[in-house]
C-alpha cells in the first residue's frame, strides 16, 4: 500500500512501540491519528501535527464508534494499528476481577472491535490494512501471565484467521509477533517480584529496538502482505503453532 497521504490510526501511540510506529508511518508520509488515554502525553502529540483521540480501550463505551470519530476528523482510516496493550505479572488466583477484565479487553477485545469498525470501509475501497501488535508470550504459555498470554495468543491466532477472511479483498491483516522490546512495559514487569525473576532469566536475550520493529512493520504494510516475527529466534514457536492451520488451508482449498 502506498502510505503517502494514508490515514493511519495507532493505538497506544504515546510511548514505546506505539510512538515508534506512529513516527515511522509519519516518516513514510502518512497522516496520523494517535489514540491513548487522556493526559499530557497524548496532548503533547498534537504538537507533531498528529490528530489525537482520547480513549481508554478497556472501556467499551470509549471503543464504540472510535473509528468513525477518527474518520470524521481525518478521512477514512486506511491502516489500523492495534498496538495498545498492558501486562501484569501476578498469579491468576491473586488477580482482581477489574485488572483481569482490563487486560483482556484492552489486549484482545478492543483490537478486533476496532477492526470490525474499520474493515467495511477498507473492503469497500479495496484498500487497507489491520496491524495487530502481539507477543511471543502468546505462543509460550508463561505462568504468572495468564491474562497476557491468553490475550496475545488470541490476538495472534485471530489475526491469522482474519488474513484468511480478507483474501481477495485488497485489504491485509498483519500479525506482529514480538519478543522483548526495550520499553516501559518490560521495566514495569521487572519491578514486580515475579516479573523481575523472569526478566533476570531472559536478561541474556538482547531486547529489540522499537524503531527497528516499527520500520519493519511499515515495510510489511507497504508490501501489502505478510507478518512480522522478531527476533528470528521467535519464528519456530510461531510457525510451529500454525502448522495445523496450513494443513487446514490445504483441506479447504477451492472453498470460497
Ligand atoms: N515491550 C515488549 O517487550 C513487548 C513485547 C511483545 C509485545 N509487546 C506489545 O507491544 C504493544 C506496546 O507495548 P509497549 O512495550 O510499547 O508498552 P508501553 O511502553 O507500556 O506502552 C503502552 C501503550 O499503550 C497505551 N495504553 C495502555 N493501556 C491503554 C488503554 N487502556 N487505553 C488506551 N491506551 C492504552 C499506553 O498509553 P497511555 O498510558 O498514555 O494511555 C501506551 O501508549 C503492547 O500491545 C505489548 O503487548 C510488547
pLDDT of residue 240: 95
In a domain, 147, yes or no: yes
Catalytic residue (one of 31, 135, 148, 151): 148
* Segments of the chain with pLDDT less than 70: 191, 194-195, 199, 202-204
pLDDT of residue 205: 72
150 is in which domain, residue-wise? 7-251
Spell out the residues 6+ positions from residue 244 whose beta carbon is closer than 8 angstroms to its own.
none
pLDDT single digits (tens) 231-247: 999 999 999 999 999 99
Whole-number Å distance between alpha carbons of 52 and 192:
32
Question: C-alpha cell of 126?
Answer: 479495496
In a domain, 90, yes or no: yes
CA 168 to centroid of ligand 1, rounded, Å: 32
Whole-number Å distance between alpha carbons of 129 and 119:
9
| CATH number of the domain residue 184 falls in | 3.40.50.720
CA 175 to centroid of ligand 1, rounded, Å: 16
Task: Report how many domains make up the chain.
Answer: 1
In a domain, 95, yes or no: yes
Active site (annotated) includes residue 148: yes
Whole-number Å distance between alpha carbons of 18 and 24:
10
| Residue whose CA lies nearest to ligand 1 atom number 41 | 37
In a domain, 2, yes or no: no
Please, are residues 159 and 134 in contact by the beta-carbon 8 Å criterion? yes
Pocket of ligand 1, beta carbon within 6 A: 11-18, 36-37, 39, 41-42, 55-58, 83-86, 106, 133, 135, 178, 180-181, 183-186
pLDDT of residue 206: 80
Amino acid at each position: 500500500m502506498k502510505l503517502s497521504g494514508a490515514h493511519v490510526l495507532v493505538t497506544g501511540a504515546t510511548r514505546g512501540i506505539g510512538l515508534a510506529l506512529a513516527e515511522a508511518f509519519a516518516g513514510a508520509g502518512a497522516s496520523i491519528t494517535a489514540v491513548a488515554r487522556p493526559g499530557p502525553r497524548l496532548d503533547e502529540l498534537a504538537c507533531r501535527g498528529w490528530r489525537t483521540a482520547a480513549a481508554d480501550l478497556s472501556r467499551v463505551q470509549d471503543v464504540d464508534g472510535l473509528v468513525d470519530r477518527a474518520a470524521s476528523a481525518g478521512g477514512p482510516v486506511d491502516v489500523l494499528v492495534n498496538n495498545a496493550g498492558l501486562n501484569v505479572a501476578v498469579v491468576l488466583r491473586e488477580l482482581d476481577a477489574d485488572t483481569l477484565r482490563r487486560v483482556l479487553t484492552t489486549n484482545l477485545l478492543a483490537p478486533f472491535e476496532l477492526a470490525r469498525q474499520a474493515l467495511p470501509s477498507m473492503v469497500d475501497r479495496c484498500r487497507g490494512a489491520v496491524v495487530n501488535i502481539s507477543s511471543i508470550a502468546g505462543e509460550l504459555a508463561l505462568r504468572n501471565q495468564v491474562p497476557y498470554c491468553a490475550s496475545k495468543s488470541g490476538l495472534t491466532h485471530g489475526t491469522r484467521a482474519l488474513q484468511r477472511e480478507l483474501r481477495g479483498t485488497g485489504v491485509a491483516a498483519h500479525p506482529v509477533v514480538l519478543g522483548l522490546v526495550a520499553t516501559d512495559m518490560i521495566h514495569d514487569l521487572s519491578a514486580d517480584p515475579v516479573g523481575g525473576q523472569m526478566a533476570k532469566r531472559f536478561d541474556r536475550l538482547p531486547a529489540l529496538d522499537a524503531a527497528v520493529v516499527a520500520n519493519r512493520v511499515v515495510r510489511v504494510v507497504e508490501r501489502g502482505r505478510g507478518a512480522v516475527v522478531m527476533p528470528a529466534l521467535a519464528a519456530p514457536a510461531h510457525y510451529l503453532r500454525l502448522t495445523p492451520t496450513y494443513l487446514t488451508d490445504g483441506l479447504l482449498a477451492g472453498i470460497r
